[in-house]
Structure formats: structure tokens, C-alpha cells
Amino acid sequence: MGMDKFNQTVLDIIGHTPIVKLQKVATHVTSDIYVKLEYMNPGGSIKDRIGYYILKKAVESGKLKKGGTIIEGTSGNTGFGLAMFAAIHGYKSIFVLADKQSKEKIDALRAFGSKVIVCPTNVEPDDPQSYYSVSQRLADSIPNSLYINQYHNPDNMETHYITAGPEIFEQTGGDFDVFMAGVGTGGTISGTGKYLKEKMPNIKIVGIDIVGSILGPYKMTGKVVEAKPYVLEGIGEDIFPENVVFDFIDDFVMVEDRESFLMTRKLLTQEAIYAGGSSGAAVVGAIRYAEKLKSPQKILVILPDSGNRYASKIYNDDWMRDNNYLDLSFNVQIKEVLNSLRTVKPDIITIEETCTVEKAVKLMEEKNISQLPIVVDDVVIGVVSEADLLRPVFEGKLALNDNVSVAQKSAHLVVDINEMLEKVARALTHKHTVLVTEKGKIVDILTNIDILHYVSSNSIY
């Protein structure tokens, strides 16, 4: 047979993704949690399955004709599955994404040769600007086009009933108790859940939803709640997709953005699983469900996509920090930090705003300091640093007899010594000067080096 056995495209290797057991992130629960690594599909997500199945079926039925255009509203992953099929078979494609989707997804879809239209996230579903409305409008106006409409297309759910369900049952022999998956369009959980319930009547099918979505609350209360903004991609909805069949879902677990993103990072650092945010959400949901069980069970969870689509967001420290997601253990008072670092309180040198640049430079040289708080009647109005003075003076933009207040640029934050360290952590990362006061008087200047020394000496991580 030789090399003839490799005469196939990437579409032929979709599926048959591995299952592994979590070893470290869920050790406090007695249940075993297993994860199916759908990011190991060739396009990087579980949506490869529907991209191939739906389009293959559309070609066979004549809905998608030669030279046609594939149109879809997507959070990105379905777009990849469809774009692979389009690239191999020569179709055009247009994808409509909400503006909260990662830059990596948008750039990669364009790299496929697809057209990408970005719409605002925080609009109502029936708003003309929503990605649902824009997708439908494009399909109505472009000849020889096919709108996939994964939210309401029954082929989405059918894909997982035909592929993922049987695959999981074959891999496991049915030796597990709970199947869990994040719920967005609903195709994965409804299709896979339907198949597994037919084979395993006692199995529990549990959905994971994000706070702000309307799906989980409706299943649990029977009431339609108002949708609220959330950042997580790929899970949650502000509409009821026809592929969310609540009869196949026994329960829901709600999770939040921050805990999902932190778990996503933990999966990489502790389990070497490089997955996306919806995978972190799924694991948080699985652990939360396991914590409420009265006896140990075997839980199988879908991890939908790859982490390489979130390098600029979830895996980027600056983005995590700027959005207050980074898990910094700064739950201590500033005075505790200073007391652990200083045996003697420093003598804080200040200058009046009427002082000259020349005097400020000399003061910095004499006292061997790099920044000076500027005060008026003992009230800090700014900070001037070496960087604010030296280059402008050298370039002639500042004269030595200019008032120092003309030169102040360094951003600063004034905090009381009894404030929590977490209040200033973000300011320090943005290179702001942090002035610490006690009873209104400046007693110290906190720096990034101080924080590093405190972290290393106290092991607060």
C-alpha cells in the first residue's frame, strides 16, 4: 500500500481526538475529570466537525453550488472549519464576527482568503448592526450564497449526533457518569447528549454557561433573564438557538469570566493543555459540579479549542492585568509591605512648584534620588523624575531657570499607608509613581522593585 494510504486532505483527519485525565487542577474533588482535546482537530477546534459535515451535506444536496459563497456569523472557530472546506474545494467565504473576538481569529480567517466583517458586540440581536442581522442581510443580497446559520441549522446538532457522540462512546465504552460541555449554539451538547442518552440511559448531561448569558438561567428557573455583557468567547447566548434542546440537558453550571481565564492559564502551566477560554470555563464548571456530588463520579468534559487563538488576550499578562483578571495575591496592607522592607523610614525629599529645574537636578544628585514629589502647601500636585528633566534640558526644550512644574510628566498615585497593596499594583505596572501617605504626610515612595522584593521574600504566589 505504501504512501497511497496518505492520499487524503486535512478534512479526512477531523475527529478521533484524544481523552486525558486531569492530574493537578482538580485534586481537591473525589470525582475523576476527563477532558476531550478537541483543539487537536486540524483546524484547532470542535467546529471543524460541523464545517466539514454541513458543507459536505450542502454540496451533496445541491444547496452549495460551484463558485458559491459560504456566509456565516461566528465567534471564529466555525469560520475555521468552513474556511478549510472552502480552501480545499474552491469556494468563497465571508465571516461576520463580533468585535470582542480575538485578533488572532480575525487575522487567521483573513489569511485563509476569507472576507471578515466585524460588528459591535453590545447590541440587541435584532439590531441591524448585530452579527446575526449582518449575516442574514449578506446571504439575502449575494447570489449563489449559502448562509450556514449554525444557531438554527439542524445539521449542526446532527453533526455531533453522527460524529462526536459515537466517537466518545467507542473511546470510553460508556464508562463514565456525566458528560459536560459549554453551551453556545447548542450543537455540541444537544447532538452528543442525544446520542449518549440513547446508549446510556443513566448518564447526566450538564451544560456550562457564562454569567450574563440567558441559557443556563432559563433551564434552571424557567424564566427569561436579561442578557448582560461578558468577555468569554464561544459560550453563552443572548438568543435561544434552535440547536439548544433543553430536553437533552439535565442541568447547568454557571461560571464567570475571571475564573475561566485563570483556569485556562492553569491548564497550561499545570496540565500542559494549551486550550482556549471556553475550555477553562468548562473545567471550572466540571469542578463546581463535582464539588456538589455526594459520591465520586467519572466526568467527561469537552475542551473546544486551542489556546493559540488567545495569545493576545488570555495568555497576555498585560491584557489580563488591564482587565483585572490576573490572579495577583496582593491582599496585604501597604504598611505590611513597607515594614517588611524598611528598617528605617526614608527621608522623603519634596520640592515646591516654584523651584527651578536646576535646583531639582542638584537635589537629585545630592540625595541620590531619581524622582521628586512637587508640593503646594504640603499637598502633592505632581512628580518630576530624572527622565522628565535630563533629555528636555539636553535638547534645549527646558532651561535650567524654568520652574520645575513645567517639567512634571510622571503619572503618580497618592495612597494611604493602610490601603491594600492590590490598589496600587496596576499603577505600578503602568510605571506610575506611588506616593504613600500617613495622616496626610508623605512617608514613602513605593516602587516596582519593592514589590518584587516583597514577593520573593514572602512567597505570596
From 36, 45, 47, 194, active-site residue: 47
Give residues with Cβ within 8 angstroms of 331, minimum separation 6: 420, 421, 422
Element holding 432 (H helix, E strand): none
- Phi, psi angles (nearest 5°) of residue 278: -70, -25
The residue among 195, 181, 160, 211 whose CA lies nearest residue 305 is 181
Element holding 72 (H helix, E strand): strand 69-73
C-alpha cell at 67: 463558485
- Phi, psi angles (nearest 5°) of residue 214: -100, -10
Q: Is 73 helix (H, G, I), strand (E, B) or coil?
A: strand
The residue among 283, 272, 278, 240 whose CA lies nearest residue 257 is 278
Place of cell 468577555: 231
Note if 199 is an active site residue.
no
Distance (Å, rounded) from C-alpha 47 to C-alpha 191? 13
Nearest 10 degrees: CA dihedral of 292, 264, 271, 268? -170
Pairing of strands 251-255, 204-210: parallel
Distance (Å, rounded) from C-alpha 420 to C-alpha 436? 12
Note if 278 is an active site residue.
yes
Q: Is 334 helix (H, G, I), strand (E, B) or coil?
A: helix
From 45, 135, 278, 385, active-site residue: 278
Distance (Å, rounded) from C-alpha 418 to C-alpha 415? 8
Please report the beta strands in 251-385, taking only residues with DSSP state E, as ranges in sequence order. Answer: 251-255, 298-303, 351-352, 371-376, 379-385
DSSP class of residue 226?
P
Pairing of strands 69-73, 92-98: parallel
Cα distances (angstroms) measured from residue 230 to each of 209, 440, 455: 11, 40, 32
Work out whether the CA dihedral 81, 255, 132, 117 comes out positive or negative.
negative
| Catalytic residue positions, numbered | 47, 278
